[in-house]
A and B are shown apart, each in its own frame.
Chain A
């Protein structure tokens, strides 16, 4: 009897490539001469390129017919392939961004690329697992790498503080998630998503232990996607971590957590949809309210983007609450577009230097249009897109989410979301206002004094991809919409 067949191994080929690449970077690091460390970044990009090609080929070959692997613990389907391609793309952009940014921050260590690859392999496992054990392992692989990356600037107290907070709250939430999984296993006798679904069908409605397990799962995933009231770690961790890590956390880890959140709740807990829906509507509204309102009073741009990322988690949760085909597709579309605009905004932050430090205060943007009109212009584009102003992609993303809510007779939720999206324009446009309508300070102590933009080819490439993504997807969103719609989960 063979436990693992060749077909199984082939099914996880992109994951294997990324994982092997990550380990290889760690091995090659001491063998590489000091002045050639850049090669490891290019090597990581090559690995991601290979994984992307394989993943793309899978996506084409798979439309409509999910292929289970490893005796039903893992699945090769269009849904997983969509997320994997997005995550690989994001990781590639973050590696490019980090290549420029780590030098500025004087933490130019190739381990960083290894951690990106390892974390990515965890995310890829997480979005394709159909067993809670596999999903949990993927989630932990992702989180453990991110804890280390948060503390990557290990002589800076803020970075250390971010790592410690992220580690404590992150492992606390995984503990809660794991307890929920254990109760689910006890009640349904299975840890596979299909087994849990069948088990729930045989239970009386309103089973208290089942409801408690569901609640614990909401808490666990709520932490990972930064939904209120489980968002406390987000601002501190986003502010303290090196900016390229923050970008990776805000984009990739959120997307992967949403992917697993959706799969677990729709496939395994679809039978008790009515119970989790009420809970998630409350979480979703609280997330939009708190994220958008608290972002208004922030003075640090990374902290503001952290609250903005909380608010965006709230919008994306609408798609989960809707829990139908349109809802799933809109979450996928939302997070794909969100990836471009958020990555772009963080990329601009990495390029801004105040003296020898990173210019991460909103004040540092004062008069940026006078100093560097291109940096100001792309920042304007990303801020417009985050606020959801047409013709940027952010508008398309919000439009589809709100349409999904209206289509499912949840107009009230859509109205609340629109109101808070309007409020969010205030703090996004404030950045645009200080960039364009104020003069940069000329004497020490005034806002915008001694700020310069350090542009490197890698960072410019990231900005170009992100800006083009935001513009092109804003005007021609059809290919992405179709890709999302053809990759939704088969709902039962």
Chain B
């Protein structure tokens, strides 16, 4: 049987990939994908813990997390399309109307 720690390491790697992606990528679509990676890393964690603890609550959580992620993408893509229409760019480095 695969030990729990393998799943946790996998999910940590996916999560960190997502976080680094959000921090270094400049294309807003890539940022959206990186955020999805973070959410899916969480899902791996929940399912693995749920299986090893024999507690179904984790899997229930995954269903809700998936639904929320879908809603988030719907809203996010709508915002990105509006942004592209308004500014003809999806590069976050060009979102610089307001600066400290």
Query: How far, in angstroms, from A164 to B76 measured CA to CA in the complex?
Result: 8
The reply to whether B38 and A175 contact each other, CB–CB distance below 8 Å, is yes
The reply to whether B75 and A147 contact each other, CB–CB distance below 8 Å, is yes
- Min CB gap A410→B, angstroms: 31
A185 and B57 in contact, given A137-B68, A172-B38 (Cβ under 8 angstroms): yes
Query: How far, in angstroms, from A136 to B60 measured CA to CA in the complex?
Result: 13
Q: How large is the interface on A (under 10, 10 to 19, 20 to 34, 35 or more residues)?
A: 35 or more
The reply to whether B87 and A160 contact each other, CB–CB distance below 8 Å, is yes
Query: How far, in angstroms, from A191 to B60 measured CA to CA in the complex?
Result: 11
- Min CB gap A55→B, angstroms: 26
The reply to whether B97 and A161 contact each other, CB–CB distance below 8 Å, is yes
**Smallest CB-CB separation from A232: which chain B residue?**
B100
Query: How far, in angstroms, from A189 to B64 measured CA to CA in the complex?
Result: 18
Q: Which residues of A contact B61 (CB under 8 A)?
A: 133, 181-182, 185, 191
Question: What 0/1 pattern do residues 1 to 45 of B give for CB contact below 8 A with A?
Answer: 000000010010001001100100000100110010011011001
Q: Which residues of B contact A167 (CB under 8 A)?
A: 75-76, 79
A155 and B42 in contact, given A133-B60, A240-B98 (Cβ under 8 angstroms): no
- Min CB gap B34→A, angstroms: 8
Q: Which residues of B contact A294 (CB under 8 A)?
A: 100
The reply to whether B82 and A137 contact each other, CB–CB distance below 8 Å, is no
Partner of B82, one of A163, A175, A181, A235: A163
Question: What 0/1 pattern do residues 219 to 237 of A give for CB contact below 8 A with B?
Answer: 0000000000000000110
Query: Quick check: is B53 within 8 A (CB to CB) of the other chain?
Result: yes
Interface residues of A, dominant DSSP: helix
Q: Which residues of A contact B41 (CB under 8 A)?
A: 179
- Min CB gap A126→B, angstroms: 13
A137 and B64 in contact, given A171-B72, A178-B39, A179-B15 (Cβ under 8 angstroms): yes
Query: Quick check: is A418 within 8 A (CB to CB) of the other chain?
Result: no
Partner of A179, one of B32, B45, B80, B98: B45
Q: Which residues of A contact B48 (CB under 8 A)?
A: 186
Q: Which residues of B contact A171 (CB under 8 A)?
A: 35, 72, 76
Partner of A147, one of B79, B86, B95: B79
The reply to whether B35 and A160 contact each other, CB–CB distance below 8 Å, is no
The reply to whether B38 and A140 contact each other, CB–CB distance below 8 Å, is no
Query: How far, in angstroms, from A429 to B48 measured CA to CA in the complex?
Result: 56
The reply to whether B82 and A179 contact each other, CB–CB distance below 8 Å, is no
- Min CB gap A341→B, angstroms: 24
Q: List 21 A-B contacts (CB under 8 A).
A: A140-B72, A160-B83, A160-B87, A161-B87, A161-B98, A164-B28, A164-B80, A164-B83, A167-B79, A168-B35, A172-B19, A175-B38, A176-B38, A178-B39, A179-B45, A185-B61, A186-B49, A189-B49, A189-B55, A191-B57, A240-B97
